[in-house]
Amino acid sequence: MSAYSSPLLKILFSKSGNRCAFPKCTSPITEGETVIGEICHIAAASPKGPRFDASQDDAARNGQGNLVLLCPTHHTVIDADVESYTVERLLKMKLDHEASVTPVQGEEAANGTLLLFDQSVRNDRYCHRHR
């Protein structure tokens, strides 16, 4: 079962504009019927992950405010450099990205949401990369 609800993923995908949130990256999150991007935790989902915050409860840890959609390259970049990519910097990156893109709506939002939901159920690397 996915840690993410369909409504949560719809908000996340819509606000992403179907683009990686890393500055100046134009990689899509979905392309046709394929999920290219990844659901990424700003503060890690597990104690072994980057930027883990023990004070977060599971709802906050897996909530829209702690999630961002990134391409695989930029997900790797931010998780490999926790000194440069702090929680504060990633939150700002997410908010700046959401403010600069046109939200995805209608059928494209519904299709992207279904693809992300299906992918998160089938492949838990999106949910638990750092076990």
Does residue 77 or residue 111 have the better pLDDT? 77
Predicted TM-score of the model (pTM): 0.86
Q: What is the pLDDT of residues 27-48, one digit of tens each?
A: 999 998 899 999 999 999 999 9
Does residue 85 or residue 35 have the better pLDDT? 85
- Give pLDDT, residue 122: 60
- Give pLDDT, residue 28: 96
Residue 69 to residues 24, 116, 123: CA-CA distances in angstroms? 14, 10, 16
Mean pLDDT of 102-124: 78
Alpha-carbon Rg for the chain, nearest whole angstrom, is: 13
